[in-house]
Amino acid sequence: VGHLAVQIAKARGAYVIGTASAAKHALVRELGADEVVDYREVRFEDVLRDVDVVLDGIGGETAERSLKVLRPGGRLITLPGPDDVPAAPEGVRAAWVLVEPDHLGLRELAALAERGELRPVADTVLPLAEAAKAHAIGEEGRTTGKIVLTVS
């Protein structure tokens, strides 16, 4: 989700700050991020301020910490689920979003892809018969991009 969110935000004209381990900084910048924070070296809430929108893909403590970087009127959007939406202080909004495909949204994504502004990154491509292996790779949490299963 993150690598696509960076590209979509840039295509919409946003200034994008990503969080990633140092090994993934080059990719995040290549995808369009203006800044990248190494979350293993610093706590992002210690170095970021006055952010308009945070897209949180982790939830829990990360969602709570994300509230600290928002400007008054800012918005936290968390993806894991409604239980991961922290109580937001006054002047800040926090919400959970269930993404559902819609015709207009899919047309916009297709247009971005056709213009070369949106490209998925695949880390590993395996046949469907190796789904268990794909799952094991995903559990390691060390992929850069998506794990793709192909169907013959």
Whole-number Å distance between alpha carbons of 76 and 63: 8
**Domain 2-119 homologous superfamily, CATH:** NAD(P)-binding Rossmann-like Domain (3.40.50.720)
- On the CB side of 136, CA atoms within 13 Å amount to 5
Instruction: Encode the chain (152 residues) as per-residue pLDDT tens digits.
Output: 889 999 999 999 999 999 999 999 999 999 999 999 999 999 999 999 999 999 999 999 999 999 999 999 999 999 988 888 998 889 999 999 887 889 999 999 999 999 999 999 999 999 999 999 999 999 987 788 899 999 98
**pTM above 0.75?**
yes
Domain positions in the chain? 2-119, 121-152
Close Cβ partners of 42 (under 8 Å, ≥ 6 residues apart):
none
What is the rounded end-to-end Cα distance, in angstroms, of the chain?
A: 26
Q: How high is the pLDDT of residue 55?
A: 95
Whole-number Å distance between alpha carbons of 80 and 111: 27
Q: How high is the pLDDT of residue 100?
A: 83
Dump pLDDT digits (tens) for 89-128. Answer: 899 999 998 878 899 999 999 999 999 999 999 999 999 9
Q: How high is the pLDDT of residue 83?
A: 87
